[in-house]
Amino acid sequence: MKRLSAFIFAILLLVTGCSSTPPLALPDTQARNELAAETLLDPDYVPDSPVHNGYFTLREGAGPALHSFSGTLRVDEFVMQDSIPAETPRSESGRYFPGFTAEFFTYDDYLVPANREIMLSTGDNSRWQLILSPGKVWSEPDDEGWSRASFPFVMTSRASNDAHNGLATFLYDDGRVSHVYFQITQETAAWNRNDYWGQTTMTYTPGPIADKTAQREQFAAELAAQIPIHPWSELESQVDGDLLAAFNGGLDPEDISAAGLIMDGVIYLQPSVTRHGEFPYPRYMRHGVFSVTKSMAAAVAMLRLAQKYGDEVFDLKIADYVEVTAVHDGWDDVTFANALSMATGVGDSKLERTSGNVTDDEDQEKFGNWMEMESAVEKLAGAFAYNNYPWGPGEVMRYNSINTFVLGAAMDAFLKSKEGPDADIWQMVLEEVYRPIGIYHAPIMRTYELDGRLGLPIFGYGLFPTVDDTAKIAMLLHNGGQHNGEQLLSPTKLAEALYQTDEQGLPVNQRNQYGETRYLLSFWSIAYCVEAGNCFQAPYMMGYGGNLTMLLPNGVTAFRYADAHNYDAGPLADLGTAVHPIPAK
């Protein structure tokens, strides 16, 4: 989903408004001038603004935590404070922090949530959801014998892939906790760049958590599998400073959630800048990457099916696995590959074959309404309500995330036909691809089913990867779908998706100085030349707001997750080919 529909943008802007606040400076002293023990223990404390993010980390004289932690934390919904101008209309449900009940445990100096999937609010007022991530525990001399904890989280909405990255902190001992303070000062949500913050009551029920031994073993494995992160500044001695400066395309650092290079088994990461200081948990920051999901999730699912059941799965017909309710016959011959390549031949736009904006269908109110549909039945009906183009499948690229959702439903049905009714396409990806490469948690948006059934993954958008996830997926793709000697993905279809074969996809009515931009099997590509005669199509993933991940033929991955609508992938290719020059042909 390159662009969010005008309808959804207008609604969300009305609901949330937009504003910004100047960044706060962390005092030179290491003393704890904010979020002190007396503040977190004060039942009447009402914070009037966010504090510097540095106060969610260890301060002067910090030492190990004085207590272990194992049990359940509960926070009820409550009205947040925010930076949205008072005169801006907003929804009542958007004002409430989502309630949650979650088990946590400590592992060394980590505070680990047992549930790291998308969590619905436990109350009836909030439209927000939460994703919890690991934080830290420690002690400070002025905390009166308490231990201190902080952890990062993501607040997201039900209909969109927006990620509002926040921090929470509290005090604890063997049986009690203080109030919890939280703030959100960074996001991938172009329509809602606002701070949220507040302090509220939290309850703690100490006790053993379910499968604690397995949870601890998995977290230990997760730590062991982490990709090293090095500071971006290390590249200054390796490459021209002008290329480094141009990498972000002139964006304000606060527009960027994460940016960097992945090469030689290392992530070179820029500082994670927010409106209130650097984010202290950049490894655990989750990013709403929107249509990058098509490549990291839907394409990976297809490539895994092809490895298991043969490359012929790309030629299967959608209509053989999904009940098509369209009033036309446009879906009759659409294959799985057509849907992944945005070449179904289905859509409403009146554009000519070879001109105009290929994302036009997503810019209409109809697509905004489709995003708001919650069940699989509703979404499939909405997808099949699109008209039939005068051309057939496989001929013209016309971008619409409904195609990827329909493909996901078909892939899930195919998998069930092979492995039984309990099979789930995303669970297959988690168990057979992600976890073997060291990704143990991969929250993704699904449909909401009132009967309690597990919903279908949206697949057109909805993934929330970390930079560590990004690196592991990129390294798998660069390695031809092989990990530790095991072939996880179809090597032949992966080579095709990465423009390494004669199949070069379909044009998207855009050009740069080197040639055409193209689209194939969920991957965009720009024409790129490192020198005269040494040219290639550089494949990349792209999502709404300016989320980009480029896979270069020299094994380097360049990524920039942002929400300022800069979709120019050229600077990523410039730097990525400079750090590891591509030999002349």
pLDDT score for 27: 59
pLDDT score for 26: 56
φ and ψ at residue 463, rounded to 5 degrees: -90, 150
The CA distance from 451 to 376, in Å, is 12
The DSSP bridge pattern shows strands 229-231 and 266-269 to be parallel
pLDDT score for 6: 38
Look-up: residue for tokens 């597990």?
454
Domain spans of the chain, in order of start: 6-223, 224-247+257-274+284-290+467-579, 293-432
CB 326 within 8 A of CB 344: no
Specify burial of residue 337 (Cβ count, 10 A radius: 0-12, 13-18, 19+): buried
Look-up: residue for tokens 């527009």?
255
Measured from the Cβ of residue 439, the count of other Cβ atoms closer than 10 Å reads: 22
φ and ψ at residue 382, rounded to 5 degrees: -65, -40
Give the pTM. Answer: 0.95
In this structure, which amino acid lies at residue 386? Y
DSSP 130-178: EEE--EEEEB-TTSTT-EEEEEEEEEEESSS--EEEEEEEEEE-SS-B-
Sheet with strand 547-551: strands edge to edge: 229-231, 266-269, 256-263, 557-562, 547-551, 534-543, 523-531, 516-520, 506-511
The CA distance from 570 to 568, in Å, is 6
pLDDT score for 13: 36
Q: What is the pLDDT along the chain (585 residues), one digit of tens a residue?
A: 444 443 343 333 333 444 333 334 455 567 899 999 999 999 999 999 999 999 999 988 999 999 999 999 999 999 999 999 988 888 899 999 999 999 999 999 999 999 999 999 999 999 999 999 999 999 999 999 999 999 999 999 999 999 999 999 999 999 999 999 999 999 999 999 999 999 999 999 999 998 999 999 999 999 999 999 999 999 999 999 999 999 999 999 999 999 999 999 999 999 999 999 999 999 999 999 999 999 999 999 999 999 999 999 999 999 999 999 999 999 999 999 999 999 999 999 988 888 889 999 999 999 999 999 999 999 999 999 999 999 999 999 999 999 999 999 999 999 999 999 999 999 999 999 999 999 999 999 999 999 989 999 999 999 999 999 999 999 999 999 999 999 999 999 999 999 999 999 999 999 999 999 999 999 999 999 999 889 999 999 999 999 999 999 999 999 999 999 999 999 999 999 999 998 877
pLDDT score for 89: 87
Q: What is the dihedral of CA 473, 186, 159, 409, to 10 degrees?
A: 0
Q: Which residues contact 17 (CB under 8 A, 6 or more apart)?
A: 84, 85, 88, 89, 90, 192, 194
